[in-house]
Amino acid sequence: MTALTIVSILPELLNTNGDAENARVLARRAEWAGHEITVVAVNSVDEIPEAVDMVVVGSGTDSELVLARDLLQPMVDHFRQWCAGHVPILAVGTGWELLSWGIELGDGEVIEGLGLVAGRAVPAESRVTDDIVVKSKYGRLSGFENHSRGYVGAKASPLGRVVSGTGNGQDQEGLVMGDMFCTHLHGPVLARNPDFADHLLTVALARHGAEYVPGEQSKRADDIAKAARNQIAVRLGIAAE
């Protein structure tokens, strides 16, 4: 058994689409695999625990972008340390955008980001609200995208190639920079795509010299998630898995 600490960053402010619940998905799957898990809600830099094994940053509303950015700013050095220490970080939606170079709004205003992730968010022609399917090295990913911006300038690998949907634009979705994973997928993304969750857990446990082996209870959750993905695929005219 390995003890892991999962940090959920600003879970009340950045949980518009239930994305902060990705921390709960990771915790439950790790518990099913026999590990001891602590989930810590971090709302200020002073609340960051000494030992951090995984980080989840959810998505918020545009009206609270500046507030969220100002709360995240004092955490920049911690994010850098986590990146250097190969701590897996999942950032979704505006949480991802806030870690980037910046966010360009439709009215021309630019909100400076934390500069931790290459690229910036730019206005899309219209708001994107639909299911999305992505081909990735972590298997087929599906989720719901709800964003009014695309993403450009990412000097990193995309999370995957868009099979149906919009993503970043130009047939790409998300980005992967070291052990930081960024995506537009809501759902929450790890509940819909447990193989992706298991990859993050594999990375986190490897830092402790431990191996991740999914627990028996994971199978039922995996089957439910697969059925949901296939339902979306059929609706979009894509072959089931």
* Cβ–Cβ < 8 Å for 78, 44: no
Is the pTM for the entire model greater than 0.95? Answer: yes
Which value, to the nearest 10 degrees, does the dihedral of the CA atoms of residues 212, 217, 219, 224 take? Answer: -120
Mapped onto helix, strand or coil, the DSSP state of residue 187 is: coil
Q: What does the pLDDT look like over 31-48, one tens digit per residue?
A: 999 999 999 999 999 999
Q: What does the pLDDT look like over 153-195, one tens digit per residue?
A: 987 899 999 999 999 988 999 999 999 999 999 999 999 999 9
Strands (E), 75-153: 89-92, 102-104, 110-112, 120-136, 139-152
Q: Which domains does the chain have, with CATH numbers?
A: 3-235 (3.40.50.880)
For the residues of 43-74, what is the DSSP string, one character each?
SSGGG--S--SEEEE----GGGHHHHHHHHGG
Q: Would you state the pLDDT for residue 46? A: 97
Q: Secondary structure of the chain: what % helix, strand, coil (to 5)?
A: 35, 30, 35
Query: Alpha-carbon distance 112 to 43, whole Å?
Result: 20
Q: Would you state the pLDDT for residue 1? A: 85
Q: Would you state the pLDDT for residue 147? A: 94
DSSP-derived letter for residue 147 is E
Q: State in Å, rounded, how far the first CA of the chain is from the last one.
A: 33
pLDDT < 70 positions in the chain: none
Q: Which two tokens stand for residue 238?
A: 């894509």
